[in-house]
């Protein structure tokens, strides 16, 4: 919105020439990040009060660590605040004629809506069971199919340079670029379903999911800018998509929203994000990875989420085969608690590992 309003003012009135900076992606990315941060900090206290007034409190599962029982009743569904703080600044600062922006925003809102339905059912039933898994999965798949169809359509527009491509890009292998064609829709479904559920599994400690997400969003802000920059993309042998530049604004807003929510979600948390937040953020980061052709690198950037998801898969699979458990409890962050790590220590160490994963992911660009 402001992308269309501010630059023309600089053309009309010379003394407003400084408004011309709104044409630059770097400025609008920083502005979107700050707007999202301020939105979270200003609206946050009011939102928490309203959630308390409506008695929207967290339901704690009985089989979890005993230390978590005290968190019962803590306001939840804070993901509404996160997604609002990310989407509104994006609309204010991004070029709304850009299809990549709308795909990312709609995918985020769609996955967030699935999480909202899940949270709502948990609250009305006063149970930690919300949507049936098959219904939740079906809804997420529907959103992912919509994203897949949209990007395949973009790939077939025939524009030069190409708006998008259905080729895959692998870290470390510059010549390995298989083209999936229409099968790319299925690949997008796998990416989005995995990313949403992995972030959702990580959301179990105060500030853990949002802090690791903020690190990943910062990494993707850099990756998105590189993809949209002709010189940098050419130097690093990456596909160059000029339209991807506006996603940098979206990623910047995600970083700002993450920092703002972490202010209230850090230990001890005043509010939890709920599934509306974890599924929405997982959908956001997965969609960005798809749009900038870094789907494979998402596994590295979100290494913490991958480890958390694997711990659940290993635990369930091994228990079904042998009747024994590999970990004291899954996901892995609960295992760390049960072996004696305090909750703040678990969070701090996981964030350190997340930063290492993000830094390593950036080095893979040159290693190609």
Q: Is residue 342 domain-resident?
A: no
- Secondary structure of residue 167 in the 3-state scheme: strand
**Burial zone of 45 (CB within 10 Å; 0-12 exposed, 13-18 middle, 19+ buried):** exposed
The rounded distance, in Å, linking the Cα atoms of 224 and 234 is: 14
The rounded distance, in Å, linking the Cα atoms of 164 and 269 is: 41
Residues 193, 198, 203: CA angle, nearest 5 degrees: 130
Q: Is residue 360 domain-resident?
A: no
Residues 183, 187, 192: CA angle, nearest 5 degrees: 145
**Can you list the alpha helix ranges (DSSP code H) found in the chain?**
2-12, 25-53, 79-93, 99-125, 133-155, 184-202, 208-228, 230-235, 245-265, 274-291, 298-301, 303-322, 332-338, 343-367
- Secondary structure of residue 32 in the 3-state scheme: helix
Q: Is residue 172 domain-resident?
A: yes
The angle that helices 79-93 and 25-53 make with each other, rounded to 10 degrees, is 150
DSSP assignment string, 298-359: HHHHTHHHHHHHHHHHHHHHHHHHHS--SSSSSSHHHHHHHTT--HHHHHHHHHHHHHHHHH
The rounded distance, in Å, linking the Cα atoms of 367 and 365 is: 6
How many structural domains does the chain have? 1
The two three-digit tokens of residue 24, written as one number: 């630059």
pLDDT of amino acid 367: 66
> Would you give the end-to-end CA distance of the chain in angstroms?
38
Distances (CA, A) of 248 to 26, 120, 366: 8, 32, 20
Q: Is residue 261 domain-resident?
A: yes
Q: Is residue 345 domain-resident?
A: no
Q: Is residue 127 domain-resident?
A: yes
Provide CB contacts within 8 A for 202, sequence distance 6+.
208, 209, 212, 278, 304, 305, 308, 331, 333
Per DSSP, 22 falls in state G
Q: Supply the range of the domain harboring residue 202.
A: 25-296
The two three-digit tokens of residue 245, written as one number: 């530049």
The rounded distance, in Å, linking the Cα atoms of 26 and 32 is: 10
Strand partners, 179: 167
pLDDT 10s digit of each residue in the chain, 368 long? 676 666 665 666 565 555 667 778 899 999 999 999 999 999 999 999 998 887 776 666 555 565 565 666 688 899 999 999 999 999 999 999 999 999 999 999 999 999 999 998 888 877 667 788 899 999 999 999 999 999 999 988 766 667 888 888 887 777 778 888 899 999 999 999 999 999 999 998 999 999 999 999 999 999 999 988 888 887 777 777 888 889 999 999 999 999 999 999 999 999 999 999 999 999 999 999 999 999 999 999 999 999 999 999 999 999 999 989 999 998 999 999 999 999 999 999 999 999 999 999 988 877 66
Q: Is residue 163 domain-resident?
A: yes
């Amino acid at each position: 919105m402001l992308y269309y309003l501010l630059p023309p003012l600089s053309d009309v009135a010379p003394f407003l020439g400084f408004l011309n900076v709104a044409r630059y992606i770097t400025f609008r990315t920083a502005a979107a990040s700050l707007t999202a941060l301020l939105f979270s900090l200003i609206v946050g206290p009011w939102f928490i009060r309203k959630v308390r007034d409506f008695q929207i409190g967290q339901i704690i599962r009985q089989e979890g660590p005993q230390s978590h029982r005290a968190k019962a009743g803590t306001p939840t569904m804070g993901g509404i605040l996160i997604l609002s703080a990310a989407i509104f600044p994006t609309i204010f600062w991004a070029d709304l004629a850009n299809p990549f922006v709308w795909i990312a925003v709609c995918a985020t809102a769609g996955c967030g809506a699935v999480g909202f339905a899940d949270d709502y059912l948990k609250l009305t039933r006063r149970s930690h069971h919300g949507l049936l898994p098959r219904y939740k999965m079906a809804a997420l798949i529907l959103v992912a199919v919509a994203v897949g169809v949209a990007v395949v359509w973009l790939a077939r527009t025939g524009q030069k340079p190409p708006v998008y491509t259905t080729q895959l890009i692998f870290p470390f292998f510059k010549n390995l670029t298989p083209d999936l064609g229409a099968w790319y829709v299925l690949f997008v479904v796998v990416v989005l379903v995995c990313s949403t559920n992995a972030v959702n599994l990580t959301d179990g400690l105060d500030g853990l999911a949002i802090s690791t997400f903020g690190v990943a969003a910062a990494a993707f802000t850099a990756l998105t800018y590189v993809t949209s920059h002709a010189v940098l993309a050419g130097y690093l042998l990456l596909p160059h998509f000029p339209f991807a530049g506006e996603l940098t604004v979206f990623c910047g807003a995600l970083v700002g929203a993450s920092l703002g929510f972490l202010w209230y979600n850090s230990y001890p948390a005043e509010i939890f994000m709920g599934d509306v937040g974890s599924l929405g953020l997982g959908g956001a980061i997965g969609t960005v990875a798809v749009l900038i052709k870094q789907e494979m690198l998402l596994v590295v950037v979100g290494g913490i989420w991958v480890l958390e998801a694997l711990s659940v898969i290993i635990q369930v699979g091994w228990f079904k085969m042998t009747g024994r458990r590999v970990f004291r409890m899954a996901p892995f962050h609960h295992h760390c608690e049960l072996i004696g790590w305090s909750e703040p220590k678990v969070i701090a160490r996981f964030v350190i590992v997340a930063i290492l994963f993000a830094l390593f992911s950036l080095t893979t660009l040159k290693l190609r």
